[in-house]
């Protein structure tokens, strides 16, 4: 079974495809998108290589990378895949939203959809998030989503807070 399209009230998260490349490169063109990343994705060639790496994903079915669409426009990128940084292929979530769409709750909406997909649909026993220790907006988002901060470590070339989300028991 292939990767699922995820829908929320305002967003559609579609599996990342080659035709999204230019739109994703445009999302990452703003210098602020590289503030907490050790590569400058405002350089179009760097952003294209990043998209190509994500397009080459060959992991567990129903996981991968999503283009985040708002009113049909690519406004961000999200993922749920085995971590490139944590041991044991732990499932890692990530989210990126164009600064032009910030402050509207769209990152929360997209990340919630990916998290719910992983915990509820895929029945993963944990989902991990690595958030740069100075990235206050994403640290706050991880807390809103219910992630527990469990430590820090050097990941993706800088110090990151390590978070985990666990399934919630169903009460009946």
Over residues 127-170, the pLDDT tens digits come to 999 999 999 999 999 999 999 999 999 999 899 999 999 998 76
Question: Within a domain: residue 105?
Answer: yes
Q: Where are the alpha helices (DSSP H) in 16-135?
A: 21-27, 44-55, 106-116
Enter the pTM of the model: 0.94
Q: CATH no. for residue 31?
A: 3.40.630.30
1 has a pLDDT exceeding 60: no
Q: In the chain, how many domains are there? A: 1
Residue 170 lies in a domain: no
Which three-class secondary structure state does DSSP give residue 146?
coil
Q: For the residues 37-47, what does the mean pLDDT come to? A: 90
Mean pLDDT of the chain: 94
The pLDDT of 16-35, averaged and rounded, is 93
| pLDDT above 90 for 35 | no
Examine residue 172 and state whether it is found in any structural domain, yes or no: no
Per the structure, the complete domain to which residue 103 belongs is given by 6-165
Residue 106: exposure state from Cβ atoms within 10 A (0-12, 13-18, ≥19): buried
pLDDT at 37: 85
| Residue 145 included in any domain | yes
Look at residue 48 and tell me if it is in a domain: yes
Q: Is 1 a member of any domain?
A: no
Q: Distance (Å, rounded) from C-alpha 88 to C-alpha 117?
A: 21
Distance CA 4, CA 2 (A): 6
Q: What angle do CA 146, 152, 153 make, to 5 degrees?
A: 130
């Amino acid at each position: 079974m292939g990767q699922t399209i995820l829908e929320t009230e305002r967003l559609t998260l579609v599996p990342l495809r080659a035709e999204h490349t230019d739109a994703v490169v445009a999302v990452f063109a703003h210098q602020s998108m590289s503030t907490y990343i050790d590569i400058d994705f405002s350089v179009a060639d760097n952003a294209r290589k990043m998209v190509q790496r994500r397009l080459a994903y060959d992991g567990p079915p129903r996981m991968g990378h999503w283009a985040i669409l708002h009113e049909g426009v690519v406004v961000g990128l999200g993922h749920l895949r085995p971590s490139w940084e944590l041991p044991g292929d732990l499932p890692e979530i990530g989210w990126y939203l164009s600064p032009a769409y910030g402050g509207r709750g769209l990152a929360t909406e997209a990340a919630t959809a990916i998290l719910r997909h992983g915990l509820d649909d895929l029945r993963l026993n944990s989902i991990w998030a690595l958030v740069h220790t100075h990235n206050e907006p994403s640290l706050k988002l991880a807390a809103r989503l219910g992630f527990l901060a469990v430590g820090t470590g050097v990941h993706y070339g800088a110090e990151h807070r390590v978070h985990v989300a666990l399934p919630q028991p169903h009460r009946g």
